[in-house]
Structure 1
Amino acid sequence: MAEEVRVGPSAGPRELREVEIAEAYVEALLAHGVSYLFLNPGTDTFPIQEAVAKRRALGQPTVETVLCPFELPALAAAHGYYAVSGRPQAVLVHVDVGTQNLGAMVHNAQRGRAAVLLSAGRAPYTTDPAVRGTRDTYIHWLQEQLDQHGIVRNYVKWDYELRRPDQIGEVIARAFQIAESDPPGPVYLTLPREVLMERVDRVLIPDPSRFPPARLGAGDPDLLRRAAEMLVRAERPLVLAAASGRTRAGWDGLIALAELLALPVVEWRTRANFPADHPLHLGYNYGLEHGLSEADVVLVLDHDVPYIPTRTPLSEQATIIQIDLDPVKERIPLWSFPVDLPIRADTGAALPLLAAAARDLLTESDRRRIAERRDRLAALSNAQRLAWRQQAATYASTRPIALQWLGYCLEEFRRENPDILFIDEAITSQVPLFCQVRTTSFGSWFQSGGSGLGWGIGAAIGAKLATPERLVVGLIGDGSFLFGVPEASLWIAQRAQAPVLLVVLNNACYNATKLPLTAAYPEGYSVRTGQFVGIDLTPTPRFDLLAQAVDAYGERVEEPDQILPALRRAAARVREGQSAVLDVILARP
């Protein structure tokens, strides 16, 4: 049993005596507030598994391990947990092969700015039988790579190998400090087996409060004042938001600023950024934005791709203000969007100061002009929402089910369940769903922030673990559902007691590939013959039957009048503790 001795003036650091380093690793995770270790084990992770078992047996605090039969949903779940809670969790996988199986989820964690500690074993160094943890099976030679870290180095903020046992406390402190510092992101740590199994007389776990993450704060006040002047003078302003709703302060701050200056808001719903039923909500990026080509001042908030220049050109006279944790996108090699006033800041901190500066500048003439704009935009916004709703209602009896009608029913379902939280991996179905399903509260909608498919199921599980009191609903494309290894992921949900409701948008094709093909070759052979190579997902798998194989509730929905009843039946199962999969058969694009 490890003896814990409090040291230091603040009693914050922890000194462990006579302890194995694997147990100190667990202790360090606990010190940094980690609740869950998402684990896919191997021949190199067992010292940590033994440390958890020991602490359980002795009645000591330990992390909750979530056994993941595949690595991809492990990282997706940690990402989903962080997105919902803001608290980083840990993932532990097996050497190089486990790291590779994290796959596109590492891309999502990078682009989605998810602070996660990725830990992986490392092939043992030694062949000395006197050394604990030495090589003792043939794979230990096969799994050693020239640069295991190179698998993920493009995507993580920091990578390191634990080289000495007495480093463990400071290494974990450094990992979390970098992961959580603005802009947050994943970090990667490898753990040689010999080091994990080494027993030492003394290990110090530093006080995490002495290694806090660096925060950007509100940004340069002079630049914020300049931005306020531009927005107050603007005749046709526009706000483009994608992830400013990652914090409550960002959500509230955008509402206050928009209402003060009557700023129309167009969002890409990486997060719920602005109430979708607000009279200043003016649509969605990439096809349904209003006013971009006419805008004279555009305020861009936490947006990696604020518009598609080849689809919706920006006015050459427009002034662009960008407030972002990374306004110039240093990790995107070619990012050529013009920005006249880049402000590196946390939008949650910057927006209240921007509003205060603008308020001080307003004249009576400004207030009258803003009031007129507010009335004009409210009429436009209300008419737009009504038109979307009326259009969807025309599909109430259409079979196969229209995507718009599914969205209509999901909105009715949302109104019945105020505790609902959506995880969105609907891909090409996203914008039609945005138009129907209104996000009216903070923290009600989450995307990955990247483009790696297979995120949604695991992320829903992580979101449920972070907020067990909420009804978590995943909106998952059929292709994304297959990418997400559903049999492994639903098993994780069952074992972790994290039931989720998954709505599979089954249009029987990879529409994300079909759309650019038909756009580039509108009269090509694919269109003329109707034979789309590598796109059709027919015959479609029976996703409802797959769910039943892992003790989840499964139902196939083919009739439009059965969508809402099926959602209610599935929600009842989830609230009773059983995951549910609704396989909704949609009209093919």
Structure 2
Amino acid sequence: MAQPKTEPAEHKNKNQATNTPDTAVLNGAEILINTLKDVNVDTIFGYPGGAVLPIYDSLFDEHDINHVLIRHEQAGAHAADGYARATGKAGVVLVTSGPGGTNTVTGIATAAMDSIPMVVFTGQVPTDMIGNDAFQEADIVGITRPITKHNYLVKDVSNLEQVIREAFHVATSGRPGPVLVDLPKDMIKSEAHYSGLKKVSIPSYKPTREGHSTQVSKAAQMLSNAKKPLIYAGGGVILGEAWEELTAMAERLNIPVTTTLMGLGGFPESKPQSLGMLGMHGTYYANMATTECDVLLAAGARFDDRVTGRLDGFSPHSKKIHIDIDPSNIGKNVPVEVPIVGDVKNVLSAIDQQASKPDTTDWWNTIEDWKKNHPLKVPKSEGLIKPQRMIERISEVTNGEAIVVTDVGQHQMWAAQHYTFNHPRSFLSSGGLGTMGYGFPAAMGAAFGCPDRPIVCITGDGGFQMTAYELATAVEYEVPVKIAIMNNECLGMVRQWQELFYNKRYSHSILKKGNPDFVKLAESYGAVGYRASNDEEMDDILEKAMKINDRPVVMDFRVEARENCYPMVPSGAALNEMVEGPE
């Protein structure tokens, strides 16, 4: 895949004002740029405005940091989120005060719900004007306090370097999350000594990394004695880079593994131990294994409602082990017998060293029967494209090697079910907040972070229209992301719920008359646009799209509008009360 352009074809001279020796006296903007380079930031997603013009003036001569001019600040936050999920590094956002900051709120909340490391720099009015309702003033620290891991308002430029370093440390350590740094304009114009600090130490913030030895031994013994063990792996396995430890344990002990939406790719789905995803739209066999197991090891997962279904019916026969680096997660939703606070990578390795292989012969016979008798269904196309087949073809064409980014809805669940994920950091999606409009800008961010991997954005006709304007950014920077629109001319998941639970009263969920011509829309931005209405056309345009490496490609797949996403656990039901759908 061709690398996205690092800048528009314009300006940048050889004088690098921020290439300054340590301990020099610099203004706040220069301190910011130098510190960003020190913490290995290579990409910023931003949009200029009056309060941050000193920073943008410093960026004018900067060669080591790639600034991506997005078209809306919310999309900038999503792009930084996608960059972070794909690379494991903190995504970085730079916006101006007032509406610039408030436009990032949805993106910050999206990252917070899924524990994604991000640092957001917002401009602010000068310190002596804060609280006076100055032009483009907003209390962004107060607004974002509930949705950030931490945030800062810089009131002394001499503290700026330390604040920036702390922000990246907090965002990327322990349970990751977004951190906001609010920069009053006088702070980024004032001068201070830049010292080039190398270490960050926050006495009140020391995440526990090693699991308690007694708890680890209990967990190992419990697994060794289990007859029906199951590993339930969440997004923490990916955030904590524990996929090798998870795979080694599951293979050595021959224990089945089910993953959450956020955990997809944390365990290779081509392995025989994989049961796919569990939860509301999980596989029959994953949900049944969760219900019938006698020991459930939850690794880096938080027992959210889309996974558990009705709480009193969730895994009622099992003793539960819960590994999480955030102690507030343990016991929050589901009581557990063996809580272990620590880094999931370290804890899994420690348990694996002590556990012996349990006898799971009968358990596997039961699971294989479930798999045989209740597979995921891919109905045959009879005219328009079947959504499930669309996902399968994308998986086949990319050989399962793409980074797949989705919006939220039916297409998201079908992607989770029918794309084969064998690698970590290959499925990017808004899980906790369920943010429509996330997919395309996040895919763009992933492309900047991983230019050598194919990037496919699977989206709906509703979600794509929320951030379609970022085609301008993708074209400007030659980002070759492939956008696959599952076009059913409606808000698919909303329509499905209205069909099943609201007597087919499709209130304001049909988009047919208001949808644009997506091919013409793409071409108007300078992107490539294709349309397919049957399987043959779909195969043709997928083959052509994957060969284009210098700009985005929009593929309008016309799919069956009344196709519903199954299996499905209805709201208020237990996992074993799932509806498998029509024959």
Q: Give TM-score scaled by structure 2 length.
A: 0.85
Shift of 1:94: 1.6
> 2 CA distance for matches of 1:98 and 1:384?
53
Per the alignment, residue 441 of structure 1 pairs with 423
Tell me, yes or no, if structure 1 residue 175 matches structure 2 residue 167. yes
Shift of 1:434: 3.1
Q: Deviations over 1:528-572 (max 9, x none)?
A: xxx511211122322222111211111121112221221111111
Identity %: 24
Pairing of 1:418-429 with structure 2 (within 5 A): 419-429=401-411
Gaps of 5+ in 2: 1-16, 563-583
Tell me, yes or no, if structure 1 residue 586 matches structure 2 residue 567. no
Pick closer, same or farther for the CA change 1:463–1:441 going to 2, 3 Å. Answer: same
What SS does the corresponding residue of 2:313 show, helix, strand or coil? coil
Aligned pair partner of 1:301 in 294, 299, 302: 299
Tell me, yes or no, if structure 1 residue 541 matches structure 2 residue 516. yes
Q: Deviations over 1:364-413 (max 9, x none)?
A: xx4xx2356456645755x379x44xx42x51x42221112212212321
In the alignment, residue 398 of structure 1 is paired with which amino acid? Answer: E
In the alignment, residue 446 of structure 1 is paired with which amino acid? Answer: L
What SS does the corresponding residue of 1:322 show, helix, strand or coil? strand
Tell me, yes or no, if structure 1 residue 558 matches structure 2 residue 533. yes
Per the alignment, residue 471 of structure 1 pairs with 454
Contact map agreement 1:501 1:580 (CA 8 A) in 2: yes
Pick closer, same or farther for the CA change 1:552–1:305 going to 2, 3 Å. Answer: farther
Per the alignment, residue 45 of structure 1 pairs with 52
Contact map agreement 2:28 2:187 (CA 8 A) in 1: yes
Shift of 1:309: 2.9
Contact map agreement 1:43 1:94 (CA 8 A) in 2: yes
Per the alignment, residue 320 of structure 1 pairs with 320
Contact map agreement 1:448 1:455 (CA 8 A) in 2: yes
> 2 CA distance for matches of 1:103 and 1:407?
31
In the alignment, residue 33 of structure 1 is paired with which amino acid? Answer: N
Shift of 1:233: 1.3
Shift of 1:208: 4.3
* Structure 1 range deviating more: 229-238 or 245-254: 245-254
Tell me, yes or no, if structure 1 residue 141 matches structure 2 residue 134. yes
> 2 CA distance for matches of 1:246 and 1:118?
22
Gaps of 5+ in 1: 6-13, 128-133
Per the alignment, residue 358 of structure 1 pairs with 355
> 1 CA distance for matches of 2:270 and 2:18?
56
Contact map agreement 1:124 1:140 (CA 8 A) in 2: no
> 1 CA distance for matches of 2:99 and 2:124?
10
> 2 CA distance for matches of 1:493 and 1:569?
19
Pick closer, same or farther for the CA change 1:85–1:232 going to 2, 3 Å. Answer: same
Per the alignment, residue 440 of structure 2 pairs with 457
Pairing of 1:104-123 with structure 2 (within 5 A): 104-123=106-125
> 1 CA distance for matches of 2:241 and 2:128?
52
What SS does the corresponding residue of 2:51 show, helix, strand or coil? coil
Pick closer, same or farther for the CA change 1:169–1:315 going to 2, 3 Å. Answer: closer
Q: Deviations over 1:150-208 (max 9, x none)?
A: 221111111111111211111111211211121111111111111211244x3323114
Aligned pair partner of 1:338 in 335, 339, 342: 335
In the alignment, residue 180 of structure 1 is paired with which amino acid? Answer: T
In the alignment, residue 38 of structure 1 is paired with which amino acid? Answer: F
Pick closer, same or farther for the CA change 1:538–1:259 going to 2, 3 Å. Answer: same
- RMSD of aligned alpha carbons: 2.8
Shift of 1:291: 1.5
Per the alignment, residue 546 of structure 2 pairs with 571
Per the alignment, residue 11 of structure 1 pairs with none
Pick closer, same or farther for the CA change 1:413–1:261 going to 2, 3 Å. Answer: same
Count of residues paired in the alignment: 535
Per the alignment, residue 8 of structure 1 pairs with none
Per the alignment, residue 246 of structure 1 pairs with 238
Pick closer, same or farther for the CA change 1:52–1:206 going to 2, 3 Å. Answer: same
Tell me, yes or no, if structure 1 residue 405 matches structure 2 residue 389. yes
> 1 CA distance for matches of 2:66 and 2:373?
47
> 1 CA distance for matches of 2:227 and 2:518?
51
Shift of 1:500: 0.5
> 1 CA distance for matches of 2:523 and 2:179?
36
In the alignment, residue 423 of structure 1 is paired with which amino acid? Answer: V
Per the alignment, residue 186 of structure 1 pairs with 178
> 1 CA distance for matches of 2:418 and 2:80?
29
Shift of 1:419: 4.1
Pick closer, same or farther for the CA change 1:311–1:125 going to 2, 3 Å. Answer: closer
Pairing of 1:220-299 with structure 2 (within 5 A): 220-246=212-238, 249-270=241-262, 271-285=264-278, 286-287=280-281, 288=283, 289-299=287-297
> 2 CA distance for matches of 1:65 and 1:85?
17
Pairing of 1:185-224 with structure 2 (within 5 A): 185-200=177-192, 202-208=193-199, 216-224=208-216
Contact map agreement 1:122 1:193 (CA 8 A) in 2: yes
Tell me, yes or no, if structure 1 residue 414 matches structure 2 residue 414. no
What SS does the corresponding residue of 1:504 show, helix, strand or coil? strand
Pick closer, same or farther for the CA change 1:432–1:203 going to 2, 3 Å. Answer: closer
Shift of 1:91: 0.7
> 1 CA distance for matches of 2:398 and 2:312?
32
In the alignment, residue 429 of structure 1 is paired with which amino acid? Answer: H
In the alignment, residue 348 of structure 2 is paired with which amino acid? Answer: L
Shift of 1:42: 0.8
Pick closer, same or farther for the CA change 1:164–1:245 going to 2, 3 Å. Answer: same
In the alignment, residue 459 of structure 1 is paired with which amino acid? Answer: A
Radius of gyration: which is bigger? Answer: 1
Shift of 1:428: 2.2
Shift of 1:357: 1.0
> 2 CA distance for matches of 1:123 and 1:297?
55
Pick closer, same or farther for the CA change 1:496–1:384 going to 2, 3 Å. Answer: farther
Per the alignment, residue 91 of structure 1 pairs with 93
Pick closer, same or farther for the CA change 1:348–1:252 going to 2, 3 Å. Answer: same
Pick closer, same or farther for the CA change 1:519–1:302 going to 2, 3 Å. Answer: farther
Shift of 1:245: 4.2
Q: Deviations over 1:100-139 (max 9, x none)?
A: 1113211111012111111111123458xxxxxx99xxx9
What SS does the corresponding residue of 2:459 show, helix, strand or coil? strand
Pick closer, same or farther for the CA change 1:20–1:435 going to 2, 3 Å. Answer: closer
Pick closer, same or farther for the CA change 1:292–1:340 going to 2, 3 Å. Answer: same
In the alignment, residue 511 of structure 2 is paired with which amino acid? Answer: L
Shift of 1:346: 2.1
Contact map agreement 1:280 1:374 (CA 8 A) in 2: no
* Structure 1 range deviating more: 308-317 or 557-566: 308-317
Pick closer, same or farther for the CA change 1:248–1:199 going to 2, 3 Å. Answer: closer
Q: Give TM-score scaled by structure 1 length.
A: 0.84
Pick closer, same or farther for the CA change 1:124–1:276 going to 2, 3 Å. Answer: same
Q: Deviations over 1:74-107 (max 9, x none)?
A: 1111111111111113211121211211132111
